[in-house]
Amino acid sequence: MREMPVQLGAGKNLVGILARPDDAGAVQSQTAVVFLNAGLIHHVGPTRIYVKMARRLAHMGFVTLRFDLSGVGDSRVRQDNLSLEDMIVDDLNRVMDYLAVTERVQRFVLVGHCGGAFVSLGMALRDARVIGVVMINAEGGDAGWDSYDLKRKTSRYYQNYYGRATLTNPEKWKKLLTGKADYGSIIRNVFQNILWNKLSATAFRARYAVLGDKSDSTRPEIANMGDGLRTLAQRDTQILIVYSQGSSGLQRTRLLVGGELQELSVAGKLKLEIIPQADHTFTLLASQERLTQVVASWMRAFIQESAGSKTTYQEGVI
């Protein structure tokens, strides 16, 4: 596996790291893998997970490129007046055009984490060259959903704090029974941070399930996620959706897509993977390895069947 920095785009403003397989016996896939920024995190990805995935896939025989969109990380700000959406589309078109010329590939899989997951979905709907999308912890969106997520997490935090952590602590019981506890703080946290936040979050989720995501009308790739996934499935575009266990994004996806998520999965059009004991950015090394294995296993379908037994990559190599 060989890595090299590359510059491309208008005025070579886009910067990325290209990884190529170099084993003589390695399978050479005709599909390239492009990693998209996770929000404002540059091309290494959260907890350097993009680096690990890109190298694993390069050992498997894929050309991979992890790059920064204009104005993010190492890539310079563009000098034109394109909107953010048009800028992202143009950047990705330039990246795929570049790889088509330099690496002689015409098919692409887009990998995105968090906000980058929705970018991969939106681009796949626009460009038929994208034959696969990997959406990792697709989260974020409107202020209402972010507020709901904060209330949900706050309620859970104080529930845990005043639950087992307190009930099993003799010192806390002693303070409570001897009048040394801050009763005002306890009452406020129980009624406001636990009960009120839980009720508010439940009400928001119920309204969301009934009325849909009206506030995301400017983000069609989110509001119309179900339609988008169905359209890609009809085109035979492969879809991998990965979520950390307990992710609010998984809740949102199930609310937006509904039963179609299961239907597409059963039909073999979509694969949903839930990684246990993993946070949003896959902080634990075990969760990073699990995510990398999930993506690598799914990507085997894009290796040309004609390569057959020539595969020489080692599954554990990073």
Stated pTM of the model: 0.77
Per-position b or e across 205-214, b if 16+ CB within 10 A of its CB: beebeeeebe
Long-range contacts at 151-157 (CB < 8 A, ≥ 24 apart): 151/197, 151/198, 151/200, 151/201, 151/204, 152/197, 152/198, 152/201, 152/248, 153/248, 154/193, 154/197, 155/193, 155/194, 155/197, 155/198, 155/201, 157/193
The tally of CA atoms less than 13 A away on the side-chain side of residue 51 is: 10
Residue 213 has pLDDT above 60, yes or no: no
Q: Where are the beta strands (DSSP E) in the chain?
A: 2-8, 14-20, 31-36, 63-67, 107-113, 130-136, 238-244, 270-275
Q: Where are the domains positioned within the chain?
A: 2-142+215-310, 143-211
Phi, psi of 180 (to 5 degrees): -95, -5
Strands of the sheet with 2-8, listed across from one edge: 2-8, 14-20, 63-67, 31-36, 107-113, 130-136, 238-244, 270-275
The phi-psi region of residue 71 (left if phi > 0; otherwise alpha if psi is between -120 and 50; otherwise beta) is left
In this structure, which amino acid lies at residue 241? Answer: I
Residue 107 has pLDDT above 90, yes or no: yes
pLDDT at 81: 83
Taking residues 245-256, report their average pLDDT. Answer: 77
pLDDT at 250: 80
Residue carrying the six token digits 């999930």:
294
State the pLDDT confidence band at 163, using cuts at 50, 70 and 90. low
pLDDT at 44: 95
pLDDT tens string 73-102: 999 998 888 888 899 999 999 999 999 999
- H or E element that contains 317: none
315 closest CA partner among 300, 295, 299, 293? 293
Which CATH number applies to 2-142+215-310: 3.20.20.70, 3.30.420.10, 3.40.640.10, 3.40.50.1820?
3.40.50.1820
pLDDT at 204: 63
Is residue 232 a contact partner of residue 241, using CB atoms and an 8 Å limit? no
